[in-house]
Chain A
Amino acid sequence: MNRSRFAARAPALVGALSLVSALAVVGCSDDKSPFHYSDPETGALRLIKKSADGKSITFDFVVGDTALTGYSTGFTLPVDATRVELGTFTPGTALPAGTAPVAAKATIPTLGPLTGMLVTAQSQKAAGEGAAEADAVLAPGTVLFTVQLTLVDGATSGDVFDGTAEGFVLPSGGLRNKLGITVVDKGQVAVGKLTVAK
């Protein structure tokens, strides 16, 4: 895969590339961590491992190789909730979510249509505390938000999610500008494979 060529096409190819499953590099694990995660190498937006320890793994949701301009982001990712639960969620500063209220949230619902999914969102605010009027320019590698998953007590070994699987596409995800126009489609949000190996 020619990374630069893919990245160059990515912003304009909304929905064209469903290979979210970006090529996995080598699965890696920090010492003593049960989590094994393969960062995606492609994708306009990517879920990248930030750190891991014996109890949790932390991801950055980052901009890929091409700069983007947008206002709001997020994704919905099916996870094996018998193995992980939501830890911390830290909004990034690139799309400032303001305060009172903070326009950012993550959850793994236990009821409803999104049960067992990691549901995330972050947006700038058009008014109120910490408002930002315009779309933000997001350089490659910009961290949009950080989300942590923690190991469920008694979790068994196995996959938590697998964005590298054939045909995998997130149920929802991407980047939108202030007008609500899609900048990055869910097909361009790349997620790797997370495994628990104890």
Chain B
Amino acid sequence: MKIGFLLHSVFTRAMAVPLRTRSGSALTMSMIVLATACKSTSHSSAPPAAQATAAHSAAPEEREREAMMWPRVHRPSGAELTVRNREAERESQKILASQRSGVTARAVAGTTWVSLGPTDAFSQFNGGPFEAVDSGRPNAIVVDPRDPNVVYLALSGGGVWKSFNGASPTAPRWAPLTDALPNLAIGGLALDPASPDTLYLGTGDAFDGAGNTVQKTTDGGITWLSPVPLSGTYPAPNGQLVLPGSIRSMQARANVVMAGTDAGLFVSTDAGATFHLVDLPNRNGKVLLESIWTVVDIGMGGWVVSGVTACDQASGPAPIVNGKDPAADCTEGNDGMIWVSADGASWSIAATPSMTGVGRISLAAANTVDPARVAVYGFIGSVDNRSTRGFWRSLDRGRTWSNATGTLANPSPDCTDLNIGNDQTYYNQAIIADPTNPDRVVIGGNLCGARTLNGTAASPRWELVSHWLPPSSGAVTSNGRLSYVHADWHAGTAVAINGGVRVYVGSDGGVFSTTNVFAASVAAESVTWARHNQGLATHLLYSVASGDPATQNPFVLFAGAQDNGTRFRANPTSPSVFNQPIGGDGIGATVHVATSGTTYWGSVQFSRLFCRPRPTVDCAEGPAWTNVDPVLGMTQEEEVERAAAVRAAGPDANDSEPFFIHYANVETDTTGQSVLTHSVGRIFVSVQGGTGALTWQPISQDLTPSGNGFANVAASRTIPGLYGAAGNISRAPFYVSTTGNTLSDWVVSKPVQPNGTLDRMTGPSSIDFPPVQPPGTTAGQVYIGSFTGVLNNGAPPPDDKGRLYRTTDRGQTWTSIVGSATARLPNVSIYVAKYDPVDPKTIYAGTELGVYVTTDDGASWRRMGNGLPVVQVRDIYVAKNQEFIRVATWGRGLWEMYPSAAANRGASGNGDYDRNQQIDWIDVAAVSSRLGVTPAVMQPPFYTWIMDLAADTKTPPTQLVDGLDLDALLLTFGGRP
């Protein structure tokens, strides 16, 4: 989430004024509410009793409003998480067992998924061009102490990746280690320095991907032990049973493993075999839940931990944002605290400065080469985590702390002071310390990074060393222009290499490093940053927009990404390279092809853009895209402010622009420019006027007068005028119109109630219509609806009901279509479900665990194809003639199953067929036996992109294993992939 984005259309204006003057402040307001969603949905770690209390104390509409806001992902309850873990582990085992399975009949007749990237970018544009290649969001970066080239990344949605040349300043080669594991949302990763091939991953991203398990490897990630779920009970008088929803920080040393979670600190003393909850001490003798943010190993058996406490002994974990000072409803306050232990067993509260209103704290230890003289630093958020309060320092191994905020020597217009986390301090906090020197620290937050070279001084001097958008005036200090590091810092580490120190940083744009940030001789503005994001197909994607063989443009492919803008496939000769023509949070995207022209639609939060490709217009480049007037006729900035104001005022009937823009291509309109989108309340269709200008016309009543918004919109691919939308509330989950572009009252469905009339399914996510009208029915009578949520009482739906339903009476009644017990759709979140465009008995489901397909109208389901990681699938596009299926994943980029010898080449494989991190005879066997194999080959051995190392000589290159791949493999024979 990059809130401080640069609005596409106002770049020039923004360059002349402080970038965030209006849009920034407005977004701040809106995000307060957006982040409130984190608060309420983070009940995942509350005990069942507490969850029940919360569920009954909050109005359903209030809780359901959260669905339209970021983070969008439903945060599971403990019960739901347990179901999710069970389903995911079962599916993970299936994947491991079925990697060489045969073909099964289905509408898209492929066998193997291919990673399409993005692996690189020729250009990135955010109001203006800038030099960058970005990737998805890391939560941890760890380096093997024996070899600085061995680098591991833990990603918020993409699992763990590894490089054997990670210190390369230009292009390290990365490979995913965990594609078959049950959960790719990794919140923490620890390497045991005593045994560096031993690592522990902790699942659950703090913001948008839940998990509560730890998995261990003892061979550098080749194999992983079974997940160990964390749970524990706080002692009396608290007594709450907690299951974490995210593991935010992990550390390990020998048999001691620490996992800092949103529900407390969990410790293992048997090398990860078991974990127990540690109740850290609280003030006033209370027993409060702690939400841990950082665990730091300070050597000599000592540990320092930071976290935020619950409001009182009956409360669940503190919210990520909008924490409270002591008040009537938060008697103890959501205090940010630091705890210290000299032995990992007994803990005490550290003595911190008398600063009130402290929230999230992130920690880092400096001078760890000399543990007796270690210096520990803290990045201090405000209690509501909407600003940065400053920085603390301890020089006595964490026991006592002093204020080390100091001064900022070189402010820039974007970063005028040390409020470095800005209004997103809850989200972007990173602090990294020099392991060889107690004085040197790097901090990063929202828009800038900074360093100090005298951190132990009474008033440290901080200097900005990076900026999120260097071409803008916001990057200029009095001493020069700062270098690029993508906005929103989350993680980092510093390693001593060859007498120097390399600092790695993980932000919303991936991985960056510097080797001269601690050089006193290098001016802050001259600090150089290398990016390490080529080959990291880890983008968090909301949507996929695709061309189609039926319209002669199957190469066209783009996607909306979380803070990686809109990624647009640039060039057939390099088909895994995706430019960023639009910055910010790219969300909705679609393609419309008609006799009146082809239009590509992209988006930024609250805003829509289009590009109409012509021989002289390259939509892979930013200047080709144009803002279209907002649906409500306001300027973009007015909409931003209005949205914030509406939300701040609470539910009302005022319509506004949504943060999450969705589109639906009206494929049946082969002459006009019909594309659906929505405001918070209504559905709109684009119409081309006589001048060719595109405008929006409302075609629905205000469907969500409470301001709940929409999760998705849809248009039948075969039946003209049949439109639908998924709302965000359980009482009225779906809306349907059969009157096309005419303004009319849409039919509102009744709730989906799997258990009769008691409870409702929450979190509607998608709606779709069969491609052929079932006999005896009329348009709009039959459709399917999917859900990401649970029942409104907080319980997961029954396994035999799940989260996919069909109505045959216009939404009056619903029937589950998740299949039979032996061939059931996993009981996990379904982000999108789509009918095959030809076969009405075939439905594709994009789920928490990948893609599933039924070819018998929901009677049975199976995991679709081989090779797709156990990853959230957020959007699906199926070619009109069933030639391919393309999907957008949350953390592993774009994938396709395209059984064609002409399919454009995807990401380069590394040839390590058996993923044992070495190239040997098994890999030679795997590539040699596949020579000549394309995805069109329907008998084993099947095509796999892993063995497609090098581009073939075709123009453009295709998905083909050939002699060039064998050549490339043999070059690494006997070595690392």
Contact with A76, one of B917, B921, B941, B962 (Cβ below 8 angstroms)? B921
CB-CB under 8 A for A178 and B941, given A119-B974, A121-B973, A123-B925 = yes
Q: In the bound complex, what is the Cα–Cα distance between A129 and B920 (angstroms)?
A: 22
**Which chain A residue lies CB-closest to B921?**
A74
Asked if A120 and B921 make an inter-chain contact with CB atoms under 8 angstroms apart, the answer reads yes
Residues from chain A with a CB closer than 8 A to the CB of B976 are: 112-113
Asked if B928 and A126 make an inter-chain contact with CB atoms under 8 angstroms apart, the answer reads yes
Interface size on A, residues (CB 8 A): 39
Asked if B941 and A179 make an inter-chain contact with CB atoms under 8 angstroms apart, the answer reads yes
> Does any Cβ of A come within 8 Å of B924's Cβ?
yes
Query: Which secondary structure dominates chain B's binding surface?
Result: loop
Asked if B974 and A109 make an inter-chain contact with CB atoms under 8 angstroms apart, the answer reads yes
Residues from chain A with a CB closer than 8 A to the CB of B924 are: 72, 74, 103-105, 121-123
Asked if B921 and A101 make an inter-chain contact with CB atoms under 8 angstroms apart, the answer reads no
A116-131 CB contact bits vs B (8 Å, 1 = yes)? 0101111111111101
Q: In the bound complex, what is the Cα–Cα distance between A71 and B927 (angstroms)?
A: 12
Residues from chain B with a CB closer than 8 A to the CB of A181 are: 100
Asked if B973 and A178 make an inter-chain contact with CB atoms under 8 angstroms apart, the answer reads no
Residues from chain B with a CB closer than 8 A to the CB of A176 are: 922, 925
Asked if A114 and B974 make an inter-chain contact with CB atoms under 8 angstroms apart, the answer reads yes
CB-CB under 8 A for A112 and B932, given A103-B924, A119-B921, A128-B962 = no
- A86-127 at interface with B (beta carbon < 8 Å): 97, 100-101, 103-105, 107-109, 111-114, 117, 119-127
Q: In the bound complex, what is the Cα–Cα distance between A166 and B804 (angstroms)?
A: 58
Residues from chain B with a CB closer than 8 A to the CB of A167 are: none
Residues from chain B with a CB closer than 8 A to the CB of A180 are: 100, 913, 925-926, 929, 940-941
**Which chain A residue lies CB-closest to B100?**
A180
Asked if B932 and A126 make an inter-chain contact with CB atoms under 8 angstroms apart, the answer reads yes
B871 to chain A, nearest CB (A): 24
Asked if B962 and A178 make an inter-chain contact with CB atoms under 8 angstroms apart, the answer reads no
- B895-938 at interface with A (beta carbon < 8 Å): 913, 917-918, 920-922, 924-926, 928-933
> Does any Cβ of B come within 8 Å of A29's Cβ?
no
A181-195 CB contact bits vs B (8 Å, 1 = yes)? 100000000000000
Residues from chain B with a CB closer than 8 A to the CB of A107 are: 973-974
Q: In the bound complex, what is the Cα–Cα distance between A75 and B931 (angstroms)?
A: 21
- A120-169 at interface with B (beta carbon < 8 Å): 120-129, 131
A185 to chain B, nearest CB (A): 12
Asked if A71 and B975 make an inter-chain contact with CB atoms under 8 angstroms apart, the answer reads no
Q: In the bound complex, what is the Cα–Cα distance between A131 and B940 (angstroms)?
A: 17
> Does any Cβ of B come within 8 Å of A173's Cβ?
yes
Residues from chain B with a CB closer than 8 A to the CB of A108 are: 974
> Does any Cβ of A come within 8 Å of B870's Cβ?
no
Asked if A101 and B963 make an inter-chain contact with CB atoms under 8 angstroms apart, the answer reads yes
**Which chain B residue lies CB-closest to A128?**
B963
Residues from chain B with a CB closer than 8 A to the CB of A72 are: 921, 924-925, 928-929
Asked if B920 and A111 make an inter-chain contact with CB atoms under 8 angstroms apart, the answer reads no
Asked if B921 and A131 make an inter-chain contact with CB atoms under 8 angstroms apart, the answer reads no
Q: In the bound complex, what is the Cα–Cα distance between A76 and B941 (angstroms)?
A: 24
CB-CB under 8 A for A123 and B928, given A107-B973, A179-B100 = yes
Asked if B921 and A126 make an inter-chain contact with CB atoms under 8 angstroms apart, the answer reads no
> Does any Cβ of A come within 8 Å of B966's Cβ?
yes
Asked if A71 and B925 make an inter-chain contact with CB atoms under 8 angstroms apart, the answer reads yes
A145 to chain B, nearest CB (A): 11
B441-455 CB contact bits vs A (8 Å, 1 = yes)? 000000000000000
Asked if B931 and A126 make an inter-chain contact with CB atoms under 8 angstroms apart, the answer reads yes
**Which chain A residue lies CB-closest to B925?**
A72
CB-CB under 8 A for A105 and B920, given A111-B975, A112-B976 = no
Residues from chain B with a CB closer than 8 A to the CB of A101 are: 963, 966-967, 970
Asked if B973 and A105 make an inter-chain contact with CB atoms under 8 angstroms apart, the answer reads yes
Most B CB within 10 A of own CB, among A105, A173, A176: A105
Contact with A113, one of B917, B963, B966, B967 (Cβ below 8 angstroms)? B917
> Does any Cβ of B come within 8 Å of A4's Cβ?
no
- How many A-B pairs have beta carbons closer than 8 Å: the answer is 112
Residues from chain A with a CB closer than 8 A to the CB of B925 are: 71-74, 121, 123, 176, 180
Asked if A172 and B973 make an inter-chain contact with CB atoms under 8 angstroms apart, the answer reads no
Residues from chain B with a CB closer than 8 A to the CB of A114 are: 918, 920, 974-975
A168 to chain B, nearest CB (A): 18
CB-CB under 8 A for A124 and B921, given A101-B966, A101-B970, A103-B966 = no
Asked if A123 and B975 make an inter-chain contact with CB atoms under 8 angstroms apart, the answer reads no
CB-CB under 8 A for A125 and B931, given A111-B975, A112-B974 = yes
Q: In the bound complex, what is the Cα–Cα distance between A126 and B962 (angstroms)?
A: 9
Residues from chain B with a CB closer than 8 A to the CB of A131 are: 931-932
B867 to chain A, nearest CB (A): 14
CB-CB under 8 A for A172 and B929, given A109-B975, A111-B975 = no
Q: In the bound complex, what is the Cα–Cα distance between A53 and B975 (angstroms)?
A: 30
Asked if B932 and A172 make an inter-chain contact with CB atoms under 8 angstroms apart, the answer reads no
- A4-53 at interface with B (beta carbon < 8 Å): none
**Which chain B residue lies CB-closest to A181?**
B100
Asked if A126 and B973 make an inter-chain contact with CB atoms under 8 angstroms apart, the answer reads no
Asked if B963 and A100 make an inter-chain contact with CB atoms under 8 angstroms apart, the answer reads yes
Most A CB within 10 A of own CB, among B917, B930, B966, B967: B966
CB-CB under 8 A for A119 and B973, given A112-B918, A172-B922, A179-B100 = yes
Q: In the bound complex, what is the Cα–Cα distance between A178 and B941 (angstroms)?
A: 7
Q: In the bound complex, what is the Cα–Cα distance between A178 and B933 (angstroms)?
A: 12
**Which chain A residue lies CB-closest to B960?**
A127
Asked if A126 and B933 make an inter-chain contact with CB atoms under 8 angstroms apart, the answer reads yes
Q: In the bound complex, what is the Cα–Cα distance between A109 and B913 (angstroms)?
A: 20
Q: In the bound complex, what is the Cα–Cα distance between A180 and B973 (angstroms)?
A: 18
Most A CB within 10 A of own CB, among B913, B921, B930: B921
Residues from chain A with a CB closer than 8 A to the CB of B931 are: 125-128, 131
Residues from chain A with a CB closer than 8 A to the CB of B973 are: 105, 107, 119, 121
**Which chain B residue lies CB-closest to A124?**
B928
**Which chain B residue lies CB-closest to A175?**
B925
- B834-868 at interface with A (beta carbon < 8 Å): none
Q: In the bound complex, what is the Cα–Cα distance between A181 and B967 (angstroms)?
A: 23
Q: In the bound complex, what is the Cα–Cα distance between A127 and B928 (angstroms)?
A: 8
4 extra interchain contacts, Cβ-Cβ under 8 A, other than A121-B924, A129-B963, A173-B921?
A101-B970, A124-B928, A124-B929, A181-B100
11 contacts between A and B (CB under 8 A): A72-B924, A72-B928, A73-B925, A74-B924, A103-B966, A107-B973, A112-B976, A117-B974, A123-B921, A123-B929, A128-B966
- The 7 A-B pairs of least Cβ separation, nearest first, read A74-B921, A127-B932, A72-B925, A121-B921, A123-B928, A121-B924, A127-B931
